Amino acid sequence: MFRSGRFNFYLAIVASGLLFAGCQSEKSKRDKEATMFQLHMETGPNAGRGSLMVNIGRTNQQFSIYVEMDSFIGGDYLDEANLIDSADGNFAIRLKFDTRGAMILQSKTSSNPGRRVAVECSFGKEEGQHRWIAAPIVRRPITDGIFIFTPQVTHEEAERIVRGLNNIAKQYRKDNSFLKDDSFP
């Protein structure tokens, strides 16, 4: 014989434990998400073997540009990423680079005014999640190490991209902290 109140209490404990375990597994999945990105400078169609024509954006809003095949910066110089939401429903991704990354970004944007910086991104295992998501025009040299762009992705994809970028940045800081010492040239 048992009391229903005691049974409900134990049922509530078990249910909350399962819910907590489910949240932990979802958090664990999110902590393992990874996003790889590279920035490529726009070039002309006559650049030869060192250039590549890419399609930027989603299928219904794509445009094509030529970019340098070799990227000039990637996730190994990233300090953090943020998703910036505006009141009108638009959003942007903000990338903050470390000291070396900021110098690279400044050098590349100073010498290429009027050109685009193409953002190549891989953020999932499904097909279509490796794509070129943005190509903002360089209007002025970026001297503060902060690159902000409006990606051609859904808000949900942008959240996923930012989580993965921060996970990778955290991993680089942890694994390569001795390489990031600013006392080295």
Q: Could you tell me if 103 and 20 are in contact, meaning their C-beta atoms sit under 8 angstroms apart? A: no
pLDDT of amino acid 61? 79
Do 119 and 143 lie in one domain? The reply is yes
Q: Could you tell me if 65 and 34 are in contact, meaning their C-beta atoms sit under 8 angstroms apart? A: no
Do 52 and 137 lie in one domain? The reply is yes
Count: domains in the chain: 2
d(CA 75, CA 120): 11
Percent of the chain with pLDDT over 90: 59
Do 37 and 27 lie in one domain? The reply is no
pLDDT of amino acid 27? 56
Which range marks the domain in which residue 124 is found?
A: 33-175
CATH number for the domain that contains residue 170: 3.30.1360.200
Residue 184: HSE in the Cβ half-sphere, 13 Å Cα cutoff: 6
Tell me the per-residue pLDDT of 160-174, one tens digit each, with 9 for 90 and over: 999 999 999 888 777
**Is residue 171 included in any domain, yes or no?**
yes
Q: Could you tell me if 71 and 51 are in contact, meaning their C-beta atoms sit under 8 angstroms apart? A: no
Do 84 and 171 lie in one domain? The reply is yes
Is a pLDDT exceeding 70 seen at residue 18? no
Do 45 and 16 lie in one domain? The reply is no
Is a pLDDT exceeding 80 seen at residue 21? no
State the average pLDDT over residues 57-72.
89
- The pTM of the full predicted model, rounded to 2 decimals, is 0.77
pLDDT of amino acid 49? 79
